[in-house]
Structure 1
Amino acid sequence: MNSLKRVAFYTLGCKLNFSETSTIARSFKDEGFQRVDFSEEADIYVINTCSVTENADKRFKTIVKQAQKVNEDAFVIAVGCYAQLKPEELADVEGVDLVLGATEKFKITQYLNDLVKNEQAQIHSCEIEEADFYVGSYSFGDRTRAFLKVQDGCDYKCTYCTIPLARGISRSDKLENVLENASKISAKGIKEIVLTGVNIGDYGKGEFGNKKHEHTFLDLVKALDEVEGIERLRISSIEPNLLKNETIDFVAQSNSFVPHFHIPLQSGSNDVLKAMRRRYMRELYVDRVEQIKEVMPNACIGVDVIVGFPGETEEHFLETYNFLNELDISYLHVFTYSERDNTPAASMTGVVPLKVRKKRSKMLRGLSAKKRRSFYESQLGKVHTVLFEGENKEGFIHGFTGNYVKVKTPWNPGLVNSLHEIELTSIDEDGIVRFKYCEPAAVV
C-alpha cells in the first residue's frame, strides 16, 4: 500500500459508530493512505453499518451504489453491527468485496492485499463470544465535537435489541486510557467531548467478561472533570436505572459537564416495559427527571421511545403519550418498532400493524416538536454559552448551548469552534433560536 491510495468512509447509526470510524480512519492514515470525502473518487470505500432499525439495513445498499457511481472499480468494505449480524447478506450485495465482523474491523488494514475485486466478497467474522476485549476509540477532525468511546457491548437482554448479538458483552476502557484520550482530544483544540458507548452507565466492567467494576461511572465523570483544557463534557445516552442521584448532583456543580441528559424510556406503560425486559418501571423514570430538574432547572432531557412493540394496545400507547406529555422533558427520539431476527420480540404475539405503528410514530414526533418548542421558549431571556459548529447552512452558522438549545446567526467563519456568552432572544420560523451577544463578546 502506498500514499497514492485514497480511502473514504461512510458511517451509519450512532455516535459510537462515528468514534470507531474515526479510529479506523486513523489506522489507514498510519499505513500511508489519503482520506477523501465519500463523494470523491477513492480506491477503497469503508461503510460502517448499523442494524438498530430496518431502515439502516436498506440504506447500506444505496450507499454501496453511491460509491460505485463514483468509482465502479473501487474496493468496498463493510464493517460494523450489520456486518457482524448478517455477514453473508452484506457479502451478497453487488459491489461489496470484504465484510469484517466486530473484532476484525479494528485490524482492517491487515485484510488488504492487492485490492482486486473478486466475484464473491470475503468474510472475516468472529463468533460474538470472542468479542471480549476492548478497543478504545475517539473521533476528531470530523466535527467541532469529539465522540469519546468509554464502553462497549451490553449485558442487558431487552427483547427487541440486537446490540448484544452485534457487539458482545459489556466491557470498558481503563480509566487512565480514557483520561489520556480526553487529553489528546483537548490538545487538538476541540472544545466539547461527548461520552459514548452502548451502555455507558455500566462503565467499569473489565475485559474478558470480568463483572467486577474497577471504577464506577461516577468515578469516570469525576476524573474527566479534572482533565485540563476540556471546556465541555456531555453524557450521550444513559439508562435510567444506572443514572444515580450522585452523578446528577455532581454534574450540577461540575466544571465541565453540561446540563443535558439523554435517557432511554422506550415506553410509558409498565406492561410494555415488562414485555421489553427493561430494568425499571415508569415510576423510576419520573424520579430521574424530577431529580435532574430539582438541581438543574434549565437542564435539557431527551428521551428514546419505541412505538408499535408487539402487544402495545391503543391503551398502552395513550398511556405512553400522556406520560410523556406530562413529563418535564425537552425532546423525543421516536423509533418505530421493526422486527429483528434472533430477538424474542420477533416471535411475540400481538403484532401491531405497520399502518398503526406509523400513525403512533407521527403522533409522538408531533409531541416532540411541541416539547422542544416549549423548552426553547422557557430559555428565552436566559444567558448561555454557545459552541459554534463548522458548517455554512444556507448562509447561517449554527451552534448549541450547553443545555442543547440550537441557535443560529449569519455565517462567520471566525466563529467556528468558538465559545461565546449569549442571551437567547427569539425563536425563528424554522424553530431555531436567535440571540444577542453578551458584552464583552469575547471568544472563550
Structure 2
Amino acid sequence: MERKKVAFYTLGCKLNFSETSTIARSFTDEGFDRVDFKDSADIYVINTCSVTENADKRFKTIVKQAQKVNPDAFVAAVGCYAQLKPEELAAVDGVDLVLGATEKFKITDYLNDLSKNDYGEVHSCEIEDADFYVGSYSIGDRTRAFLKVQDGCDYKCTYCTIPLARGISRSDTMKNVLKNAKEISEKGIKEIVLTGVNIGDYGKGEFGNKKHEHTFLDLVSELDKVNGIERLRISSIEPNLLKNETIDLVAKSRAFVPHFHIPLQSGSNTLLKKMKRRYMRELYVDRVTKIKATMPHACIGVDVIVGFPGETDELFLETYNFLNELDISYLHVFTYSERDNTEAADFDGVVPKNIRAKRSKMLRGLSAKKRRAYYESQIGSDRTVLFESENKEGYIHGFTENYIKVKTPWNPELVNTLHQVNLNKIDDDGLVRFDFVESFSV
C-alpha cells in the first residue's frame, strides 16, 4: 500500500517551528512520508499564529495554496489561532480539522477518516485544561535547532493573546531538556536556540504545579556542560527575568553566545504601565548597561510595539529617543493590532492606522542605523562564523557568535562548519564580507 504524504506550514515564532517538527516526527512514526508544502500531499497541517492581524489573513491564503496543489487533500489547523478562534478557522473553505492547545500533539489520533468535510471538525479545550507540558525541538536545517524549554505565560500584558492561546506558564524537566539537547548534538547540529513563550520563567509550573525545582540559571548552567553543542543562544528573555547571574554566566560560558534579545515594547513608562509590563524603562537601561559592561561586543536585539492605544506623538518620540540613545544592535518592530478578548482592544486613544505605519517606518529606519553602527563597531575584530546551507546569488552566509551576518563566495565545503575570521569590511548590501585567505577552521 502506498504511504500517505503529509506537508507542514508554520506561521509565527520559533516555538511554533519547534512544535511543528515534533508533530511532524509523530507522523513519520505513524508511517507517513513528509513532503514539501509546495508538493502534492494527502494531508496539509498548518500551525497557526495569532500575534498579529496579518497572521490571521495569511492562514486563508495558505489554505488556498494547499487546495490548489491537491483539491482533495485533508487540511488541518493547529496552534494559537486554532485555540483562540476554532469556529472561525473551521468555517474557512477547505479546512477539515481544527485542533486546540491540548489536542495538537495527538493529531494522528484524529486521522482515521481523511475524507473532506463540508465544515471543519473542531476539537478544542478550555485553556485551563492546557496544564501539561510537551517537549519539542525543531531541526529545519543542518546548522541550528530550536529547543523548547517552556510554554505558556502567567503575565497579563494588555495587548497579548498568548496566555489565552497557550495557557499557564509551565516548564520541561531539566532531565528532558538535557536529553533533547544531546539528541540534537548527536545529529551534528552545531547551534541550539532555546525557545519558549517566557523562558526566563523556566522552572515555574513544572507540569502544572507551582514547584520551583529548577531556575533558568540552573538550566543554562547544565546546558553549558552538554558535550557536542558548539553554540547555545537564548532566543528572547524578559528584562525583569534576565538576572545578573545569567549575564555573568554567558560572559564566562563555553557555549552560550553573547547575543540577547530583550523585549522592551515601549520606551515610555506611561505606556509600559498601560501595557501591564513588569518593569519600567530604567530597569531596561540597567540590563543593557550590565550586558555591555560585561561583554562590550554583545549583540542586543529589542522588540518594540508602535501605535498602542494612547501613544501620542510625544510618547512615540519618547520611545524613539530612548532607543536612539541606547547601546543596542537592532529592533524588531511590531505594529499594534487589536486582538479580541484583550484589555487593550477597549482602550481609548486609538492610533489611526496610517500613523501606526509611519511610526513603524521610522523605527525600522532607526533599526537599520543601529545595526550598521553595531557592525562598524566590530570591524577589525576576530569572530567565529557558523556557515549555513544555502547558496544565495553565489554567496554563502553565516552568523558570528554575536549575531553579525557575514558572507563569502559560495563554497559547499563550508556548510555547517565553524571558522574564525577577521571582520574587515561592510559590503554594499550591509553585510560583512570577507575572502577566505586568512581564515582558519575552529
Calculate the TM-score normalised by the size of structure 1: 0.98
The equivalences for 1:346-361 within 5 A come to 346-361=345-360
Q: Does the 8 A contact of 1:424 with 1:436 survive in 2?
A: no
Which residue is 1:295 aligned to? 294
SS at match of 2:390: strand
Residue 364 of structure 1 is matched in structure 2 by 363
Q: Report the alpha carbon displacement of residue 209 of structure 1 after superposing the two structures with TM.
A: 3.3
Whether the 8 Å contact between 1:161 and 1:343 is mirrored in structure 2 is yes
Q: Which residue of 2 aligns with 1:389?
A: 388
Structure 1 residue identity aligned to 2:411: N
Cα-to-partner distance string for 1:393-437 (whole Å, 9 max, x where unaligned): 122111000000001112221111111111111111111111244
Q: Distance in 2 between matches of 1:31 and 1:97?
A: 20
One-letter code aligned to 2:106: K
Partner of residue 250, structure 1? 249
Return the letter of the residue paired with 1:228: N
- Indicate if the aligned counterparts of 2:142 and 2:416 stay in contact, CA closer than 8 A: no
Alignment of 1:128-167 (within 5 A): 128-167=127-166
Map of 1:67-82 to 2, 5 A cutoff? 67-82=66-81
Q: Aligned with 2:267: secondary structure?
A: coil
Structure 2 residue aligned with 1:122:
121
**Counterpart for residue 196 of structure 1:** 195
Q: C-alpha displacement at 1:114, in angstroms?
A: 2.3
* Cα displacement (A) at 1:211: 2.1
* Deviation by residue 1:197-223 (Cα, 9 ceiling, x = unmatched): 000000001345322211000000000
Aligned counterpart, 1:329: 328
Whole-Å separation in 1 of the counterparts to 2:240 and 2:253: 22
**Aligned ranges 1:262-277 → 2 under 5 Å:** 262-277=261-276
| Structure-to-structure mapping, 1:45-444, within 5 angstroms | 45-437=44-436, 439=438, 441-442=440-441, 444=442
* Secondary structure in structure 2 of the residue aligned to 1:241: helix
Q: Relative to 1, partners in 2 of residues 1:3 and 1:29: Cα closer, same or farther, differing over 3 Å?
A: farther
Give the corresponding residue for 2:15.
Answer: 16
Q: Distance in 1 between matches of 2:2 and 2:137?
A: 24
Q: Deviations over 1:210-241 (max 9, x none)?
A: 22211000000000000011100000000000
Q: Which amino acid aligns with 2:31?
A: G
CA separation of 1:185 and 1:438: change in aligned 2, threshold 3 A:
farther
1:427 maps to a residue whose letter is: I
| Paired-residue identity, % | 82
- Cα distance, 1:142 vs. partner? 3.6
Distance 1:394 1:41 in 2: 28
Matched, 1:40 2:39: yes
Q: Deviations over 1:30-89 (max 9, x none)?
A: 001000111111111110000000001100001111111111111111000000000011
- Preserved CA contact (<8 Å) 2:408 2:435: no
Cα 1:208–1:178, aligned 2, differ >3 Å: closer, same or farther? closer
- How many Å separate the matches in 2 of 1:119 and 1:348? 38
Q: SS at 1:52's partner residue?
A: coil
Query: Separation in 1 of the partners of 2:437 and 2:85?
Result: 53
TM-score by length of 2: 0.98
Shift of 1:3: 5.8
- Alignment coverage as a number of residue pairs: 442
| Distance in 2 separating the partners of 1:205 and 1:233 | 22
Rounded to whole Å, the distance in 1 between the matches of 2:94 and 2:142 is 29
* Contact 1:3 1:34 (8 Å CA) reproduced: no
Query: How far did 1:143 drift?
Result: 4.9
Whole-angstrom distance in 2 between the partners of 1:205 and 1:283: 26
Whether the 8 Å contact between 1:421 and 1:438 is mirrored in structure 2 is: no
Segments of 5+ residues of structure 2 without an aligned counterpart are: none
CA displacement 1:301-331 (0-9 Å, x = unmatched): 0000000000011110000000000000000
Contact 1:51 1:57 in 2 (8 A): yes
On the 8 A contact 1:423/1:436 being kept in 2, the answer is no
SS in structure 2 at match of 1:221: helix
Deviates more, 1:112-121 or 1:284-293: 112-121
Deviation of the 1:438 alpha carbon: 7.0
> Amino acid of the residue matched to residue 144 of structure 2?
R
Q: Give distance in 1, aligned partners of 2:174 and 2:437.
A: 38
Deviations, residues 349-398 of structure 1 (Å, cap 9, x unaligned): 01011111110000000000000000011111110000011111122111
CA distance in 1, matches of 2:439, 2:162: 48
What runs of 5+ residues in structure 1 fail to find an aligned partner?
none
Give the letter aligned to residue 42 of structure 1. Answer: A
Hey, what's the Cα distance between the residues in 1 that align with 2:99 and 2:260? 33
User: Using the alignment, how far apart are the partners of 2:242 and 2:292 within structure 1?
Assistant: 14
